[in-house]
Structure 1
């Protein structure tokens, strides 16, 4: 088997396991589903599941790397202005990075203390990545780059949570975008005088 085919097979296996796990978690609850049940349903060995997903919550947050590196990995010029632009692109696209998901998925996370904590961990990791970028760019600014990262990522987290709550309330995605957009614009406008220079 060529390297390309092997990588494709690995990706397909990972996606299948994640999809099966998410379906079972939504149906039965995160805490009530075992790794063995996921392996059986996905038709793989239990070790295959844990090789792809070392922690059970990783099965839910299979976009961890994308989530925690966003927006810092995509910033080219101004951290503040690029973050703002990237957020509105994600909101407009109804992307998972902005909090969009299915109602069952959002409810599953909100109802599980383990998943809620895991989501908070992802937000903290996102903040650390953005803080690292800002501190490296502005080494002589003391705590200001750290504060800028904290404010920006807190805004992203609060907006994410609002989208989640609206999803659980069964609001249509287009209505969520329409409701969140002006609030997000106002929030970014409020932060700009303090952190727009970054």
Structure 2
């Protein structure tokens, strides 16, 4: 019981620090706000902040772990008879159609993106996250298909599938930064997804089809 309460308190403290830091970054800019500023606003020590977040970039991109594993999760959860690419396209369509904040379709997203745009360290970290997404997806495709470590196909397929995700997120980010309405962007991106699927070869669309379990 006591252990559970301690873990819950840690989660709550971590979330509170993250929320306060995000507010400060959005208001004052990433480069201006220091870890000491965050610690003071959260009424904790600087060391406490670092215990939860090793770098300042981790504070702003707190949910990056979920993004890193997103494509792999979608592929692992694909339906029987569904390919890896088809699963990712389906999940993206569902998120976009639902005007989901998880893909950036929300009011205020432009503020988040502008902070990243104005900060070279955040742009660098975002690039690293995108690379991790592809590397994780490649590892998942190798495992799901039983491909040998020297087989180049999972690498190539991960690049193609990741491009789908990257293209969609890039368009959403650009349109939201321009101040567009999330519902309008959602409708346009659904059409974009149709165009993207048309550009993919049959080899990509039929790769890693899940068999009967």
TM over 0.5: yes
Structure 1 pair 89/3, CA: closer, same or farther in 2 (3 Å)? farther
Give 1:112 shift.
Answer: 1.3
Structure 2 residue matching 1:32: 3-state secondary structure? coil
Give 1:76 shift.
Answer: 2.8
In 1, the alpha carbon distance for the partners of 2:6 and 2:94 equals 34
Superposed CA offset, 1:113-135 (max 9, x none): 11111111111101001111112
1:5-84 matched pairs, under 5 angstroms: 5-74=5-74, 75-77=76-78, 78-84=83-89
- Give the corresponding residue for 1:176: 185
Give 1:13 shift.
Answer: 1.0
- Of the candidates 86, 93, 98, which is equivalent to residue 98 of structure 2? 93
In 1, the alpha carbon distance for the partners of 2:126 and 2:100 equals 16
Structure 1 pair 42/93, CA: closer, same or farther in 2 (3 Å)? farther
In 2, the alpha carbon distance for the partners of 1:96 and 1:122 equals 18
Give 1:21 shift.
Answer: 0.9
| 8 Å contact from structure 2 (residues 17, 49) kept in 1 | yes
Structure 2 residue matching 1:33: 3-state secondary structure? coil
| 8 Å contact from structure 1 (residues 99, 161) kept in 2 | no
RMSD (Å), alpha carbons: 1.8
In 1, the alpha carbon distance for the partners of 2:21 and 2:165 equals 27
TM-score, normalisation: structure 2: 0.86
Give 1:4 shift.
Answer: 2.3
Unaligned runs of 5+ in 2: 208-213
Superposed CA offset, 1:134-156 (max 9, x none): 12224159222211111111221
* Shift >4 Å, 4+ stretches: none
In 2, the alpha carbon distance for the partners of 1:70 and 1:147 equals 18
In 2, the alpha carbon distance for the partners of 1:92 and 1:64 equals 22
Structure 1 pair 120/26, CA: closer, same or farther in 2 (3 Å)? same
1:139 equivalent in alignment to 2:140: no
* Structure of larger gyration radius: 2
Give 1:100 shift.
Answer: 3.5
Bigger relative contact order, structure 1 or 2 (CA pairs below 8 A, ≥6 apart): 2
- Of the candidates 110, 113, 116, which is equivalent to residue 103 of structure 1? 110
Structure 1 residue matching 2:51: 3-state secondary structure? helix
User: How many residues are matched?
Assistant: 198
- Give the corresponding residue for 1:119: 126
Larger helix fraction of residues: 1
